[in-house]
A and B are shown apart, each in its own frame.
Chain A
Amino acid sequence: MTEEQRTPRILIGKPGLDGHDRGAKVVARALRDAGMEVIYTGLRQTPEMIVEAALQEDVDAIGLSILSGAHLPLTERVMALLRENDMADVPVFLGGIIPADDLPALEALGVTGVFGPGASTEEIVALVRGAVERG
């Protein structure tokens, strides 16, 4: 089947209970400006809500913004749900306040990339685009 004009579709979600969505919005905006279609799901999503939305929207990548410190259990749950739904091939990115000590664990969970507060939007766009094109 021909894919004449495949536009990347990216879901940006905020699992957990912290109410700070500025980072998520900045990233959503940057991906939009890079020509991608961003499905923005808003604050206080459960992993179940995020994976359900990712499935219905048939996204090419998922970006999770987590500043609550609960990134390990939340990410683990999202990854498990993706596997259950036969969506393990969808790359997952993480943004927020993530201690360096947790990076190996996140990598082991299958997370494609982690962006801290210092990451530039160019860097994020490039990594997401690369992951989507590989997929």
Chain B
Amino acid sequence: MDDLLLQVRQGRPRAIARLITLVENSETAAETAVTALYSATGQAHIIGITGPPGSGKSTLVNELAKEFRRQDRRVAIIAVDPSSPFTGGALLGDRVRMRDLAGDTGIFIRSMASRGSLGGLAEATAGAVKILDAAGFPVILVETVGAGQAEVDIANAAHTTLVIEAPGMGDDIQTFKAGILEIADILVVNKADRPGADRTIQALELMLHMGEGSATRHHGRLLSTPDNGPTADGAWQIPVQATTATQGKGIPELVVDIQRHYAYLQASGVWLEREKERSRRELERLLQARLLRQLQVTVAPDRREALVTAVAAREMDPYTAVTELFAHLSPSKQAGA
């Protein structure tokens, strides 16, 4: 493992690939890897790309990667696709749209199955991002599963979140709903050569205008007017960028938006705020997992099963059952044990 970690730090693709597999499959490996690599992370600009299936995320990622490569920046890509809830199998097809990137040693692409996670990413995505960060990739693009309305995990995993829409995906009421549009730092209307693109752009801009002055706070930032660039008071204004990824149109402009957002994050201190929020959530998640494991060790399986049966039979309510389970974890109980 030490050898592997060293090779990851040197940016060796085979080692990176192997470590990601280990982290995907084993919580113990994830702990070892993150413990060893964590001090070397925090350098990369993590960019999330989300949006409905068929909106062109993979094609857009392909074009973004090419644009970053023109600036001579190395790019890592994590592309998440759904696992079958029935068989656990998955068809990971995002590479089909990324064939332009083959043969470039400055690019590393990893497909990842969601393996039961519902937030648009996989459980191991955060670990894989850390590995790629520690391996020295300055830009990491994370493409989520085709996301509808509620898959918003990417907002916590990325510094800059792009929400991709395509024309003809619904009327303007869709743009008022809570969820995925709220997490956008940059809105992208892809397939802008299709009929109806203007209307989609207008609907999104209207949605952003309606938020103007209402000072909706989200992760400590203002959701505000659609005019480009930070305002006088320094708040980020979400741009709506039209692209036709299949022709590379709008891509240089989109990369400018992404880099402007990076500059804004750094200058405003929001970068640190987001890192802190992400760390908070990560600690909570790890703590939950560890408490659950501790519980499984502390309370005998048949006792746990008896509580489940009692709750199912309405002999006990779920809150009382959890209180009883939790009593096994309290310090006084452990001290006495």
Which A residues fall within an 8 A CB radius of B?
Answer: 1-7, 9, 28-29, 31-42, 45-46, 48-49, 52-53, 55-58, 85-87
Contact = CB atoms under 8 A, between A and B. Distances in A.
Interface stretch (B22-30, B141-149, B180-188, B310-318): B22-30
A38 B26 contact: no
A7 B84 CA distance: 13
Contact of A42 (B18, B96, B115): B96
Interface string B59-100: 000000000000000000000000110011111110110010
Contacts of B83: 37
Given A7-B115, A40-B95, A58-B17, 12 more contacts: A1-B22, A2-B29, A5-B25, A41-B95, A42-B96, A42-B99, A48-B102, A52-B102, A52-B103, A55-B17, A57-B111, A58-B20
A100 to B, nearest CB: 31
A33 B102 contact: no
B13 A40 contact: no
B14 A85 contact: yes
Contact of B17 (A32, A34, A57): A57
B26 A4 contact: yes
Contact of B21 (A29, A58, A86): A58
A34 to B, nearest CB: 6
B87 A7 contact: no
Contacts of A9: 21
A34 B14 contact: no
Given A4-B26, A41-B95, A53-B95, A58 B18 contact: yes
Nearest to B105: A52
A85 B15 CA distance: 11
* Chain B, interface SS category: mixed
A32 B84 contact: yes
A29 B91 contact: yes
A39 B90 CA distance: 8
Nearest to B108: A56
Contact of A7 (B25, B93, B111): B25
A33 B85 CA distance: 11
Contacts of B103: 48-49, 52
B241 to A, nearest CB: 28
Nearest to B109: A56
Contacts of B89: 31-38
A40 B26 contact: no
A50 B335 CA distance: 57
B91 A32 contact: yes
A58 B115 CA distance: 17
Interface of B: 1, 13-14, 16-18, 20-22, 25-29, 32, 83-84, 87-93, 95-96, 99, 102-103, 108-111, 113, 115
B87 A45 contact: no
B62 to A, nearest CB: 12
A60 to B, nearest CB: 9
A32 B31 CA distance: 29
Contacts of A35: 84, 87-89
A55 B14 CA distance: 6
Contacts of A29: 91
A45 B64 CA distance: 22
A26 to B, nearest CB: 12
A95 B32 CA distance: 40
A55 B13 contact: yes
A28 B84 CA distance: 14
A2 B93 contact: no
Nearest to B102: A49
Nearest to B77: A56
Given A32-B87, A35-B88, A7 B113 contact: yes
Nearest to A5: B25
Contacts of A32: 84, 87, 89-91
Nearest to B92: A39
Contact of B26 (A1, A34, A46, A86): A1
Contacts of A45: 99, 102
A49 B99 contact: yes
Contacts of A41: 95-96, 99
Contacts of B99: 41-42, 45, 49
23 contacts: A1-B1, A2-B28, A3-B26, A5-B25, A29-B91, A32-B89, A33-B84, A36-B89, A37-B89, A37-B92, A38-B90, A39-B95, A39-B111, A40-B93, A41-B96, A42-B95, A48-B102, A48-B103, A49-B99, A49-B102, A56-B110, A57-B17, A58-B20
